Chain A
Amino acid sequence: MEELKSFVVGSFTDEKVLFPAVKNVRKAGYKIHDVYTPFPVHGLDHAMGIRETSLHTAGFIYAITGTTTALTFMSWVFTKDWPLNIGGKPNFALPAWIPITFELTVLFSAVGMVLTFCYLCNLAPFVKKHHFHPRATDDLFVMVIECTEKTNDAEVQSFLQTAGAQEINIQEVETGWWIGRYDREQKLYKEEPGY
């Protein structure tokens, strides 16, 4: 179900300022919801203390599912269900099945990983995502700090100020997804805060 949460949003213009700020914010005990950057920043995941993704483990599991599916299905079809004499080859023609097994392995792992990735990132068709700052895709590094009932908003704001953030504001945003998002219209850049 949807639920409103408030976030303190601060934007940075420089990576060099961002890194120590991330470190200090974490040290002070605030919970970083996420940092939005216009391009992949090396080492930022490490600085934010995000754990290593398990996406590759999921990929491995999808892959062996694909391998098993291909091999069991083909052996069932060609030896039990509908054996055919193809060029005098044995019915259990393993070498001929390897390319298909390989393809299904790749297909299962690729499609499975894409869907898992979308799920983990809350991405789906027609779901409108909230942008904390429209310039996060252009030239700003946007740090979003989650507020709990104990958090003092003003304190976080002044903390971000000293950490070097340029624009700081508080946003009330729905969390969770799938429900209640489809009808939301995306605002134009000039109507968003920051312009």
Chain B
Amino acid sequence: MDHQFQLPGSYKKWTYGLIAVGVVALLYGFIMFNPFAHAGHGENVNSTRFWAVLLQNSVFFLLVVNAAMFFICVTTMAMAGWVVAFRRVSEAISSVVPILGVITFVILMSIVFGHRTDIYHWLDKEAVANDHILNGKKGFLNPMFYAIFSFCTIFLWWFLGKKMRSLSLESDRKGHMDYETGKKWIWDNTVWASLYTVVFTLTVASTIPWLWIMSIDAHWYSTMFSWYTFASTFVSGMSLIALFVIYLKNRGQLEYVTEEHLHDLGKFMFAFSVFWTYLWFSQYMLIWYSNQPEETKYFIERIGTAEKAGPYKAIFFLNLIINFLCPLLILMKKGSKRNWTMVTFMAVLIIFGHWIDFFQMVMPGTLHAHYSLGFFEFGTAALFIGLIMWGTGRYLTKHSLLAKNHPFLKESMIHHT
């Protein structure tokens, strides 16, 4: 069987359609929302909306595609064989990291050097000088550190991910590997995967969510926040991998992917949904319990108090229903994890749920009660989804869909859960 995939016309139509919708939304925002208006807190709500939506979408989708490379690296380090049958799919998704990385970097820099104090309050030098707490965080929350750290982070994700992908593509040219060559190749993979994982842990699982998202609420902090963000994007990343695997399988590709592989992907989606809830709850309960005003502020902005409901109450609990109750109750059964339609439905639901999760991370601190969920928000999401489809499709057609010389291929073919 030929493992070269041709993109069908419908795929291209959807890709360019989504990108076109996104571009229209962006132009609409550009014209209507006056993005370069003065950033004074709460003065130009539309202008704030423009940047907040871009920030939410770019960071969310960048972290989601980056999770695909993290998945490859941890499975490489764990010597997992079962992923080999669809390994190229996660590689293809991770190949979007440089594209979204550049876009995200441009957006972040425009916010920081455009002096958007409505997004990041700590950009306001005067306010920082008169603020004991912000003054104490000055070493971390300042434009120079932000720019350099963001740049290095995105560069390292791109560079190490690129290395992992080129190692994989190199195996196509190498032909069948004997025991010694295979061992050496696996070792090289393990070394680079470990490096990537270390960088990933020091960025996605700790500093980057603090810097990019948590610093919107600059006074507030939570030690669970980065793990919570990581869980959110990782479970979405697994759902995205599952979606592409199912799509390709429907197109008659990926001959070695069976229900067994789908079952394990479903387990990842189930397990990390529960893991996300664990972190979500740990963050919520500790703050609820200790009841410190500077900490509870974060949740009061969202759900409000017993007397007065907050503007995000519905979204806040919808988030919990979509991302916890639905995966828990629906994906618990073995039958639904092995059902292609059910996993597709759940993957879409989970990605949407965590997009909403990011929405309620970014909006309350920037737009307060003036948020909206309209054409601009969904249009921007469409732009990023279109870009992911474009980049992934490009990689899938350029390279063989099967890492046919991978030493663990046999293990993946006979995989049995």
Whether A and B are associated in the same complex: the answer reads: yes
Inter-subunit contact B416/A98 (CB<8 Å): no
Which residues on the A side are within 8 Å of B291 (C-beta)? 87-89
Chain B: CB-nearest residue to A43: B416
> Closest A-chain residue to B332, C-beta based?
A60
Given A60, A95, A99, which contacts B288 in the complex, CB threshold below 8 Å? A95
Asked if B179 CB lies within 8 Å of chain A CBs, one says no
A95 to B280, CA, bound (A): 12
Q: Closest CB of chain B to A46's CB: distance in Å?
A: 10
Q: Chain B residues near A60: list those with CB within 8 A.
A: 332
Task: Indicate whether A42 reaches chain B with its CB closer than 8 angstroms.
Answer: yes
Complex Cα distance, B289 from A88, in Å, reads 10
Chain A residue contacts of B281, Cβ below 8 A: 95, 98
Place the interface of chain A in its size category.
10 to 19
Interface hits, B257-295 → A, CB 8 Å: 281, 284-285, 288-289, 291
Chain B residues 107-147 with CB under 8 Å of chain A are: none
Least CB distance from B328 to A in Å reads 11
A96/B289 in contact, CB under 8 A:
yes
Q: Smallest CB–CB gap between B81 and chain A, Å?
A: 14
How close is A181's CB to chain B, nearest CB, in angstroms?
A: 35
B284 cross-chain contacts in A, Cβ below 8 A: 95
- Verify A42–B416 contact, CB threshold 8 A: yes
User: How far is B291's CA from A87's CA once the two chains are assembled, in angstroms?
Assistant: 9
Scan residues 49-108 of chain A and give those whose CB is less than 8 A from a CB of chain B.
56, 60, 87-89, 95-96, 98-99
Q: Please state if A96 and B416 are interface contacts (CB–CB under 8 Å).
A: no
Q: Is the CB of A95 within 8 A of B416?
A: no
Q: Shortest Cβ distance from A47 into chain B, in angstroms?
A: 13
* Whole-angstrom distance between the Cβ of B156 and the nearest chain A Cβ: 37
Residues of B near A56 (CB, < 8 A) are: 334
CA distance A56 to B337 in the complex (A): 15
A89 to B289, CA, bound (A): 8
Q: Which of A105-157 contact B (CB under 8 A)?
A: none
Q: B284: nearest residue on chain A (CB-CB)?
A: A95
Question: Once the chains are docked, how many angstroms separate the CA of A99 from the CA of B277?
Answer: 12
Kindly identify which residue among B285, B332, B334 contacts A98, using a CB–CB cutoff of 8 Å: B285
Chain B proximity of A113: nearest CB distance (Å)? 15
**Complex Cα distance A98/B283, Å?**
13
Interface string of B90-117 (1 = CB under 8 A from A): 0000000000000000000000000000
Q: How far is the CA of A99 from the CA of B284 in the complex (A)?
A: 12
Q: Residues of A contacting B288 with CB < 8 Å? A: 95-96
A22 to B289, CA, bound (A): 60
Q: Which of A42, A43, A87, A95 touches B285 (beta carbons < 8 Å)?
A: A95
Which residues of B lie under 8 Å from residue A88 when comparing CB positions? Answer: 291
Considering the complex, give the chain B residue whose CB is closest to the CB of A57. Answer: B333
Residues of chain A within 8 A (CB-CB) of B289 are 87, 89, 95-96
CA distance A56 to B291 in the complex (A): 39
Q: Which residues of A contact B285 (CB under 8 A)?
A: 95-96, 98-99
Chain B min CB distance to A61 (Å): 13
In the bound assembly, the distance between CA atoms of A98 and B281 in angstroms comes to: 9
Contacts of B334 in A (CB 8 A): 56
Whole-angstrom distance from the CB of B162 to the nearest CB of chain A? 38
Closest to B289 in A: A96
Q: Which residues of A contact B416 (CB under 8 A)?
A: 42-43
Once the chains are docked, how many angstroms separate the CA of A108 from the CA of B190? Answer: 41
Q: Which of A60, A88, A95 has the most CB atoms of chain B within a 10 A radius of its CB?
A: A95
A95 vs B320: C-alpha distance when bound (angstroms): 14
In whole angstroms, what is the CA distance A88 to B285 when docked?
Answer: 15
Chain B residue contacts of A89, Cβ below 8 A: 289, 291
CA distance A96 to B291 in the complex (A): 13
Min CB–CB distance B278 → chain A (angstroms): 9
- B334-347 near A? 1/0 per residue, CB < 8 Å: 10000000000000
Query: Nearest-CB distance from B97 to chain A (Å)?
Result: 36
Q: How far, in whole Å, are A151 and B250 apart by their CA atoms in the complex?
A: 50
A43 to B288, alpha carbons, bound, how many Å? 49
| Contacting residues, chain B, for A96 (C-beta < 8 A) | 285, 288-289
**Residues from chain B with Cβ under 8 Å of A43 in the complex:** 416
Q: In the complex, A56→B334 CA distance in Å?
A: 10
B399 vs chain A, min Cβ distance (A): 32
Task: Tell me the complex Cα distance, A96–B289, Å.
Answer: 7
Residues of A close to B332: CB separation below 8 A: 60
Within 8 A of A (CB), among B380-417: 416
CA–CA, A42 and B416, complex, Å:
8
Instruction: Give the CA-CA distance A42 to B284 in the complex, in Å.
Output: 43
Closest residue on chain A to residue B306 by CB atoms: A90
Q: Shortest beta-carbon distance, A52 to chain B, in Å?
A: 8
20 A-B pairs whose Cβ atoms sit less than 8 Å apart in the complex: A42-B416, A43-B416, A56-B334, A60-B332, A87-B289, A87-B291, A88-B291, A89-B289, A89-B291, A95-B281, A95-B284, A95-B285, A95-B288, A95-B289, A96-B285, A96-B288, A96-B289, A98-B281, A98-B285, A99-B285
The 4 closest A-B pairs by CB, nearest first: A95-B285, A95-B288, A42-B416, A98-B281
Beyond A56-B334, A87-B289, A96-B289: 4 further Cβ-contacts under 8 Å? A60-B332, A87-B291, A96-B288, A98-B285
